[in-house]
Structure 1
Amino acid sequence: MKTSVYNSRYFIAIGVFILLCFSGIGFFITSKFNKRTERISMDMATSIYQLKSNVINNEFRGFVGGLNNAELIIPQFKSASDFLKGEKLVNALLLSHSKIKHGWYAIVTVQDTVYRTITENGTNYQHGELLAYQKKWIHSQLVSKDTITRIGTIINVEDSIHGLLATRHRLADSSTLILGLDINFKELQRYLWGVDSKSRAAIYIVDEQGDYVLSPDEKQIGKQMPGGIKTARLEKLPDSVSFYEIATSSYLGLPVFRFYTPFGISRMKWTMVLETPVFVIDEDVKAIEKYVFLMLIAATLIILVLIEWSQVKWQKQFMLRQQAEILAAQQEKENAILQLDKLKEKLDPHFLFNSLSSLNGLIEEQPDLAKAFVVKLSRVYRYVLDPTPNGLEEVSREVRFASEYFFLLKIRFGEALASLEIDIDPQYSSAYIPFMSVQTLVENAVKHNIVSKLQPLHISIRSEGEGIVVTNNLQLRTDVKDSGKQGLKYLQGIYAHFGDFQLSYGIENGTYQCFLPLIKKPSTP
């Protein structure tokens, strides 16, 4: 019988393969979502940057708006005395923004130079002397031959960084007027921190030297920006003047989209730096991602359950088929044993009668040969009456049994039966063939062929390939009835019981040949 082996690893492999396929699909879809999510996150970060930068630009326009407004009325002043008469209006316009508290002016006439600070105190304006850093810079601008109207600078003072923003004009009486603001950027930073407080972005302003003018961390104001600004390695935004990169913020401690855009005030070329965290903005995208992942898991589990159900069902059918095959094989074995019993029954009376007749002729004429005959006869019957339980026997024992059986036939037929030729490779001695298989073929050869001195019967037993070949010269008798090939059916049944072994027989070159395949490791299914 062909042994069928149920292997659950096959089904496990299918399950793992399907799981890997779905995992691959999941990763592919997730990667697509991730790319789209990154794009959305980038777009949203850009929007936040644009909104925040607009807020900052508007705030700074408001900071310098007082200077712009005051500049509009300067053409009304023809002389230094006119300016001093309209000083209250100038003060009100110059410090019109609620967060700008300090202004100043300097007016140079032929006779004198007047320096004065303006400080808002409620609804009043107080005047005072210029501070040293103010006077030093204003003096440098007065002696400068530069004709630029709007001027400005950044000065490090002990408590903070101050921005001096001014406008310079020449009056009709040849007086020179410089009017400006003094902005404390540390105080301004505290104010800007509260503007658009819901925004998840951090704003920095860096001057031309790479120093922080504004920073959420006040300790950084006035210090050098780490690494500086190198736009050559940055990605450019569609507006062609702004750049961005993905970096780790030293202030937020998070990966951020960092945007750089030019920021000019009073002809000072600054850079606004805005950092917004890299995060997924669109909750719908996150939800879809989650649902797709859950669906993939659910689909995988359903398929694995179906595979398991199919596996159990297949296993049940497999067991039923295996039981049926075992029963069929058992039946084949029982049939073969029945046929063997029939052969034994046939061997017992006829063979015993013929053997006793031969022995009777030998007792008086050749007593020694008669003794040998009796020994051989007893061995033959002992072998027949003591078969192996699985229906197989070693080649060496089968050939020896056939040889002893042939000895008895040789006594009976004499010269009409040529000597038995045996050529078995020793390596085949421990292999197995069906019980009484060689003897059966020898008996069939004698039974179905003419055995006479004129036409002696030649029988040979030899090893060939993976089996034993029994041959005899073909000289068929016509007076023998067909026995239904009981011997060959017995051999076929035994071989079928032990697997894919093919018994072959037929006529070739005037000889009848039968090939007995070797069974190297017999087992009883």
Structure 2
Amino acid sequence: MKIVLPIKSLIGINWLLTVVFSGIVCLFLFQIKTEQHPILYSFMTATTISLISYTNIYVLIYLSKIYELNSKKFRIYRCVITYTVSAITYLIVWPIFAFFSKKEWSHDDFALLLTFILSSALINTLILLLQDFVLLHTQKAHTELEFSKLKTAHAEAANLLLQQQIHPHFLFNALNTVKALYRKDTSAGDTYIVHLANFLRASIFTHSSKVSRLDEELALLKDYLEMQKFRFGSALCCIITLPNDILENYYLPSFSLQPLLENAIKHNELTEEMPLRVVVWYMNDRVIVSNNLQRKSVKMESTNNGLANLSERYRLLSSDNIIIKEEDKMFSVSIKLLSNEYSNHRR
């Protein structure tokens, strides 16, 4: 988000600088009891500083529309323009006041010309320093606000993740499935218990991890898939084609793949005549999970938090977005793989 320039604060700094400098000049002239009128020279000083200060603000506003505030081009153009304009301002304003003070002088006077240029450079440098202080304070406040928002968003996303990992409906269905399997086939019941234990173990021990290695995510997905096959049989078909060389070298946000399969099962019809086909594949550094669309005639109650939670968690990690596509007969979610477990992945 682009930072809004603190124009009011900059104007306030300009007025403060003008009053302080003109007041110092006035007191100095009264102290030395010069023949020159103190009020006139104080007004001259105030006018010059005000012109240079407001010119600096206009230059700041104009350049900020073209360049980033911290960019090298912004700093170079700002210095070149403001120092040039301040020198020209001195050369224009001082002759006018010299006329009113009835003092003759010429631009051919090298010493006087050098004095004007050095004075303008000194004043402009002070103005730039004060303006940079205001900008730095504003950027710091903006950064702290953004960081606070990110922390809040991360906490909300993490809370939603915990809620989704062990959903009451999932546990209810899992226990009913175990009960039914043990009545028919104890061996199948034992196998189901193994997959369920693996899934629950991962839910408990990885809930605090921001990212998981791809092979760990895939193992979690397979445990969940095997449990669902006991319920749906041939009505659920899942094909996984991920190259072995990427499994141990890349990462995804924790609990990324399993919720996508769960989402497909939740919102689509599954029958032996019309099976749900889910494909997990890899292309261009992205893992893509796609399924054929067979919308349920009776819509399931949904909070719509699943994909939104995954998208927000991924954005917080990488400042990137997942890609969600819905076509006539196909739905897909594409997630770019993360390459470093310990990086925050934000550019």
* 2:323 matches 1:504: yes
* Cα offsets for 1:369-427 (capped at 9, x unmatched): 33332221111011111235453222222122111111110112111112433334633
The equivalent residue for 2:41 is none
Which residue of 2 is the match for residue 394 of structure 1? 213
Residue in 2 aligned with 1:242?
none
1:313 Cα deviation (Å)?
Answer: 0.7
Q: In 2, distance between residues paired with 1:297 and 1:396?
A: 67
What displacement does 1:317 show? 0.5
1:410-450 Cα distance to aligned partner (Å, 9 max, x none): 11211111243333463364333222121111001111111
> Partner letter of residue 315 of structure 1?
L
User: Which amino acid is the alignment partner of residue 516 of structure 1?
Assistant: I
Q: 1:384 aligns with which of 184, 193, 203?
A: 203
Where 2:324 maps in the other structure, the secondary structure is strand
Structure 1 residues 9-408: aligned runs within 5 Å: 13=76, 17=80, 288-346=109-167, 349-363=168-182, 365-387=184-206, 389=208, 391-408=210-227
1:17-37 CA-partner distances (Å, limit 9, x unpaired): 469969x99xxx9xxxxxxxx
Q: Is the 8 A contact 1:504 1:514 kept in 2?
A: yes
Normalising by structure 1, what TM-score?
A: 0.45
1:420 pairs with one of 215, 231, 239: 239
Q: Select between 413-422 and 324-333 the one with higher mean Cα deviation.
A: 413-422
CA contact (8 A) 2:195 2:224 kept: yes
In 1: Cα distance, 2:77 partner to 2:123 partner: 14
Whether 2:258 is the aligned partner of 1:439: answer yes
Give how far 1:354 is off.
1.9
Amino acid at match of 1:360: K
User: Of Structure 1 and Structure 2, which has the larger fraction of its residues in strand?
Assistant: 1
Cα separation, partners in 2 of 1:11 and 1:473, compared to 1, 3 Å? closer
* Contact preservation (8 Å) 1:393, 1:435: yes
Contact 1:392 1:432 (C-alpha < 8 Å) held by counterparts: yes
| 1:459 pairs with one of 270, 275, 278 | 278
Q: Contact between 1:355 and 1:412, CA under 8 Å: does it hold in 2?
A: no
Q: Which amino acid aligns with 1:300?
A: A
Alignment pair present for 1:430 and 2:249? yes
What is the identity percentage for the equivalent residue pairs of Structure 1 and Structure 2?
Answer: 21
Aligned length: 264
Name the structure with the higher helix share.
2
Which residue, out of 338, 341, 344, partners 1:519? Answer: 338
CA shift in 2, pair 1:360/1:388, >3 Å: closer
Cα contact 1:336–1:489 (8 A) shared by 2: no
Q: Secondary structure at the match of 1:470?
A: strand
Mapped partners of 1:506, 1:288: distance in 2: 74
Number of the residue aligned with 2:95: none
* Per-residue deviation, residues 254-301 of structure 1 (Å, max 9, x unmatched): xxxxxxxxxxxxxxxxxxxxxxxxxxxxxx999811221222122122
CA contact (8 A) 1:11 1:307 kept: no
CA distance in structure 1 between the partners assigned to 2:335 and 2:107 by the alignment: 73
Cα separation, 2, equivalents of 1:286 and 1:479:
88
Aligned to 2:287: 468
Q: CA RMSD in A?
A: 3.3
Residue 297 of structure 2 aligns to a residue whose secondary structure is: coil
Query: In 2, distance between residues paired with 1:287 and 1:473?
Result: 85
Q: 8 Å contact 1:458–1:472 — kept in the other structure?
A: yes
Does the CA contact (< 8 Å) of 1:390 and 1:524 recur in 2? Answer: no
* 1:368 Cα deviation after fit: 3.5
Indicate the SS of the match to 1:458. strand
For the residues of structure 2 that align with 1:503 and 1:401, how far apart are their CA atoms? 20
How far the C-alpha of 1:305 sits from its partner, in A, is 1.7
Distance 1:389 1:21, change over 3 A: farther
Aligned in 2, Cα 1:524/1:509: closer, same or farther, shift over 3 Å?
A: closer
Q: Distance in 2 between matches of 1:425 and 1:295?
A: 73
* 1-structure distance, mates of 2:149, 2:204: 26
**3-state DSSP of counterpart to 1:515:** strand
d(CA) in 1 for partners of 2:307, 2:180 = 33
Structure 2 gap ranges (5+): 3-67, 92-104
Q: CA deviation at 1:365?
A: 4.4
Change (3 A) 1:494 1:13: same
- AA aligned opposite 2:212: E
In 1, distance between residues paired with 2:261 and 2:71?
48
Distance 1:327 1:414, change over 3 A: same
* Cα 1:497/1:363, change in 2 over 3 Å: same
Distance 1:296 1:380, change over 3 A: same
What is aligned with 1:490? 309
Cα separation, 1, equivalents of 2:209 and 2:74? 35
TM-score, length-normalised on structure 2?
0.66
Q: Is the 8 A contact 1:425 1:463 kept in 2?
A: no
